Structure 1
Amino acid sequence: MHDLKWIRENPDAFDAGLARRGLDPRSAALIRLDGERRAAQTRLQELQASRNETSKQIGIIKKQGGDVSAIMDEIAKLKEDIPLLEAQEKSLSEEIDGILAAIPNLPGADVPDGPDEEHNVEIRRWGQPGAFDFQPLEHDAIGAKLGLMDFDGAAKLSGARFVVLKGKLARLERALAQFMLDVQTEQHGYTEVSPPTLVKDGALFGTGQLPKFGDDLFKTNTGHWLIPTAEVPLTNLVGDSIVDEAALPIRMTALTLCYRSEAGAAGKDTRGMIRQHQFWKVEMVSIAHPDQSEAEHQRMTACAETILQKLELPYRTIVLCTGDMGFSSQKTYDIEVWLPGQGRYREISSCSNCGDFQARRMKARFKGDKGNRFVHTLNGSGLAVGRTLVAVLENYQQADGSVRVPEALKPYMGGLEVIA
């Protein structure tokens, strides 16, 4: 959510930020509505004060034996006008809040401009794609040859964009999740959390999925929503609260199932495990001091990259351009892992600094020497478990159809070296 006071004081900067996102200017309309609301508030306060003062006069006049009929008529008129002004002020406030709730975060000054993913900027690479003396297969073909990845069985149960993993592949998925959690908690200092995966409207509003992106989510008939990412419950843990400055940064991680309708991805990645309705993900969330959030963003991205380095999976890190950023982000790094079966890099983690955008929506503040201020919130995948499984299968496949187990995962696989 944006600060309306800042918009009033910096209308050109606000509209310039929206223009970088490819959006039309909104400051003039917001300032006009805000002026009408402030005028209504002022007039309402004047009428309420007049009513109170006039009411005091009734007793005085009655004691003096005077006629109060004129004053009673005045009070009656005030009682008619005040509810009308209250309704007007409420309506204007709701209209302003509705507009602000649908406007995305402004991009950071160092975010590259561009309309789409073609304008993202690569900033580094790690590792070299391996050379194969055979034609590498995509992960779904590898899983089918192993007999341990069943899309037809999943479709019979749940429809498209689901999978059933069996035997050693199911264990490999579990091993990856445990390995990621251990690295993020034991080496990087994140506190493990096991949050609810069903949340109410307010939580999704706080992190920015609602009201604009409801079609991308699954909703139950009880009014709860299935989380699209653990960012939602973890970040909202500090909502409607004031934390002590000394407690910052607060770093949390969670392994949860995530659910996405993929409404905006019709026809994309319909095969395999790249884009599914249900998937496991290890999420990282940081609640940071405003002065620390940029450094925290770099740190979080490095924590995600560490997982790929330990698994010896080649990857590249890119900074998203203004046209490819998420709604709540002011700057995002995507990490893309090399998939030899597809012959290209694919996203496996997205690490975003949201500034105080989400904190304003959920009223998350910290108490410091200068009073209460909004925290900065950050989130990132550390990593998407299913996509990491895909990367292991494709990068560690062998000519006979078997898959080597990465060295870092062998302790989690009971010492198993090859899945065959």
Structure 2
Amino acid sequence: MKVFYNLLGLDIDNTILENMELVSNEYYSNCTYYVLTNSSITFLDRRYVCISFNSIFDTEKIISYCYFLAMLDQDIGCVIHNWDLSDEIKDCGVSLFHLDSDLKEVILKINLNKFGSLEYSDISKAIKVLVLMNETSSISSILDKMGSVSNSLFNQLDEIFISSGIHSNALNRSRKVLDVDLFVKLKNDFFCRKNKVGNEFLTTFFNLIYNVVDNIIVQCGNSNNNTKSIFKSYKSLSNLSLHLAKYKYDKGYSNQCFITLFRVLEFYFTGFLFVTGDLEFRNNHGNKDIYETNGDKVKGFGVLFNRIKSKSILPSNLLKELDSYIILRNCHLYGHGFYLSGPVLNKNFFDLVINIVTLMESNVIFKDNSWSQFSDLNKSLFNFDYKKHFENHLLLFLGGSLNFRPDI
């Protein structure tokens, strides 16, 4: 259970803090403590979090924020301890929540959804809708809309990275993606959407998608200049594939996660081998195809992997492990058979892919930080902590700031 110590309006000194610690140990053991003050305090004890407000504050709204914070973590209640200098435990109340089904649904969506953000104009509505338990349908409909858009986005990404109906084989898929036609279509789609919606919350969400897709177009648009830019374009695709695979894993789409992880390596290996001079683009009846420098057309992942093995940049244990996954891929549902992959196998494969990319990043001929830059950008969409963002913006709307416990 959460305990909120209301020290607003008080001059904080060591005596108050020592007494507060005594009260915590005596009455509220094994709780998380939030200290509401007009000043910023850093607690070495990780159980305490300081929430500081400016000198002008609305007590009713701040107490509502306490309720909301507890409800978001799906607590059944919380303690609001209004500090009294004469008797520290005098004015204390335990608040229990009785949530109706609509509010429960909204809180569940906030906890589960990873996409989107809230602007300040939405927060005043959220206080009424969520904290004061009124009119939950408006926020719920926005979350539903965001969920629908998310599904649409990932269906389109699946068409680019997974669907065999668009491209005849993996390397042709790489070539087609570098032509960026599909990403341009995706970008234009969300550019139109973000300019049509009148809701700032959805506009921000569309902007995240737009920025991620636009980065791919920019990187791939420069891919014909030199091998360094070609590698960078393939790394942008590889990194996006990695975050898409993680999303699939988190959502329980095991089979799609498995095959998308191969896309991560496929793109990275391809770009890497352009840098080492093992691959080149050649025109083939008006089409740009990928060839080995010995003149053979590259037709599958196995060719790329054999070239990588010849470079002696990966240890034998990783190569042997990847060989076993290639065997599984060949008889997989998204390969040439009917094999289905599960979450444990995907977790192990995910770790392997990360290890391989990390090692290869340390062995590239030129050093840049593009992989980390792409990760930061893609995380803004795929790993967005919607719940924490909601909490922080609500707090900022109320004129407060959060002082987290230090890492010690």
TM tier, shorter chain? under 0.3
Q: Which has the higher strand share?
A: 1
More helix by share: 2
Q: TM-score under structure 1 normalisation?
A: 0.23
- TM-score where L is the length of structure 2: 0.24
